[in-house]
Amino acid sequence: MLRQLSCSRLAENIGTAVVHLKPSGLSRYEVEIQRRGIATVECREKTCKLLVIGGGSGGCSIAAKFAPKLGKDNVVVVEPSDVHYYQPMFTLIGGGMKSLEDARKPMADVLPKDVDWVQDSVQKIEPQGNYVTTLSGKRINYEYMIVAAGLKVDYTRVPGLVESLNMPGSGVCSNYSPEYVEKTYKALMSFEEGNLVFTFPNTPVKCAGAPQKICYIAEHYLRKTGKRGKARVLYQTAQPKLFGVKRYADSLWKICRTRGIEVNLLSNLVEIEPDRKIAYFESLDNPEMPRTAVPYSVLHVTPPMGPPPFLRCSPMVCDSAGFLDIDPNTLKHKFFSNIYGIGDCTNLPTSKTAAAVAAQSGIVYENMLLTMSDQEPTSIYNGYTSCPLITGYNKCIMAEFDYSLQPLETFPMDQSKESTLLFYVKKELMPLLYWHVMLKGHWSGPETMRKLLHMDYKEKRPIDAQLSS
């Protein structure tokens, strides 16, 4: 019987563990190994009521909502990482305003205690069979599933980038990885003169405002340290606009003009020569045009990003670009009614931010409960997202908007204007809200607060109605 179970770590633990056989939901036996009071299951197959893929902001918050409702061990979370990072803080770390230690906690401390954490990576989803396979060879059967796998950052897609990031004193940095984020402030402190170049790739990214936030912070740093006169600051973005919402874009263009920041649209980073300190950009509106060579002293790179590989390996659940294919209103999968999606791994036409995840988590929770009761989902997501656009060491523009790119502001003030108050909301209040409220399953966005502060607030409408109005 033990050979039939194929439990991967039984042999190495048998000498020091107490082994129990217990009936499983699969009408066979699991092996439960109890060591030092901690029970872990190391079998090749298991079954759960709800499977959550991902232990980031979406996975943790949605698991925290469902764990008390479904009961102990009825929620399985698949997440390979030992550490959970509050990624919205990385911009502040890059500007020297926070430390990396402020942005991380052990994954075991963040996940709800009543979930079954499988520390592994999903390899493929088999939606017709209601199971997933993992890289270590496990099979996890589910009744319902929520995919919250985030975006994959890929530094290898730009030739010379990885080499540059790993080269001491190269001046190349990136706020998009815990491995590299601390290099940004070091590069700013080491700067003497020359070009500071900031990039935005020709792919979806986590928080579309973040690539320019560090540009504004760096420019402010230069003024504070008396180095601005020796610097040329360039923002090279592959996007056709500085920002997608005109209300906030107008304010950002004014900041760039006033502070002498050069903005080049439709300019995509394609290669770096670290030995020569030259970055090469292609023109997306004129592909026949020769690449532009831009020398740099500091180069902050926002790397290309894309959906997790397992989604591309699961064509029945993703769209042609590899993102989870869900209904933009209900967040339910378009073809498999027992699957929902949340966050960056989905094809929702809104900015990929933690604020969007918070708003989506409430919709997913309400609609999934209806699905579990054989009812149709009724809650509608209006595309709400938010991007706190930090413009320096004490100012912030708080962009909030919906699917139709219309402002959906929470505070009774003009959030398109730089504000010290909103800066401290971003810097001090939001981390507390994230760690102690959102990840505990108690925050689904500021909609209720917005209704209280804006009595003329209009009810959310389905995306089709918004886009046709």
Mean pLDDT, rounded, for 172-200: 98
Strands 29-35 and 38-41: antiparallel
Which residues carry out catalysis?
207, 387
**Contact present, 46 and 138 (Cβ < 8 Å):** yes
- Read off the pLDDT band of 240 (50, 70, 90): very high
Q: What is the sign of the dihedral through the CA atoms of 146, 150, 426 and 105?
A: positive
* pLDDT tens readout for residues 257-305: 999 999 999 999 999 999 999 999 999 999 899 999 999 999 999 999 9
* pLDDT recorded at residue 39: 39
Tell me the C-alpha distance between 20 and 15, whole Å: 14
* pLDDT recorded at residue 318: 98
The angle subtended at Cα 284 by Cα 236 and Cα 158, nearest 5°, is: 65
Mean pLDDT, rounded, for 84-95: 99
Tell me the C-alpha distance between 325 and 318, whole Å: 5
DSSP character at residue 281: E
Q: Which of 140, 111, 108 is closest to 123 using CA atoms?
A: 140
Q: Which of 304, 295, 305 is closest to 171 using CA atoms?
A: 295
Mean pLDDT, rounded, for 219-231: 98
Sheet holding 38-41, edge to edge: 18-23, 29-35, 38-41
Q: How far is CA 75 from CA 115, 292, 341, in A?
A: 5, 51, 16
Tell me the C-alpha distance between 280 and 161, whole Å: 11
Tell me the C-alpha distance between 431 and 450, whole Å: 20
Coil, helix or strand for 332? strand
Tell me the C-alpha distance between 377 and 332, whole Å: 8
Q: How far is CA 312 from CA 125, 162, 346, 349, in A?
A: 10, 24, 12, 19
Q: Which residues are paired to 326 by β-bridges?
A: 333
Q: Which of 238, 180, 250 is closest to 205 using CA atoms?
A: 238
**Contact present, 45 and 138 (Cβ < 8 Å):** yes
The angle subtended at Cα 361 by Cα 82 and Cα 455, nearest 5°, is: 140
- Read off the pLDDT band of 453 (50, 70, 90): confident
Q: Hey, what are 124's tokens?
A: 């493929």
**What is the reported pTM?**
0.88
171: left (phi over 0), alpha (psi -120 to 50) or beta: left
Q: What is the sign of the dihedral through the CA atoms of 49, 54, 60 and 61?
A: negative
Full set of structural domains in the chain with CATH: 1-43 (no CATH), 47-152+307-372 (3.50.50.60), 154-303 (3.50.50.60), 385-468 (no CATH)
**Contact present, 369 and 397 (Cβ < 8 Å):** no
Q: Is the pLDDT of residue 38 over 70?
A: no
Q: Which of 184, 275, 193, 190 is closest to 233 using CA atoms?
A: 193
Mean pLDDT, rounded, for 335-348: 98
Neighbours of 467 (CB within 10 A): 14
* pLDDT tens readout for residues 367-399: 999 999 999 999 999 999 999 999 999 999 999
**Contact present, 69 and 369 (Cβ < 8 Å):** yes
Q: Hey, what are 50's tokens?
A: 């709800």
Q: How far is CA 351 from CA 103, 345, 354, in A?
A: 22, 12, 10
Kindly report the backbone phi and psi dihedral angles of residue 460, in degrees, each rounded to the nearest multiple of 5, phi listed first. -65, 145
* pLDDT tens readout for residues 307-335: 999 999 999 999 999 999 999 999 999 99
Tell me the C-alpha distance between 387 and 353, whole Å: 7
Tell me the C-alpha distance between 412 and 456, whole Å: 12
Neighbours of 277 (CB within 10 A): 19
Average confidence score pLDDT of the chain: 91
Kindly report the backbone phi and psi dihedral angles of residue 300, in degrees, each rounded to the nearest multiple of 5, phi listed first. -95, 120
Residue with the two structure tokens 């929902």: 340
H helical segments located in 173-245 = 182-190, 210-224
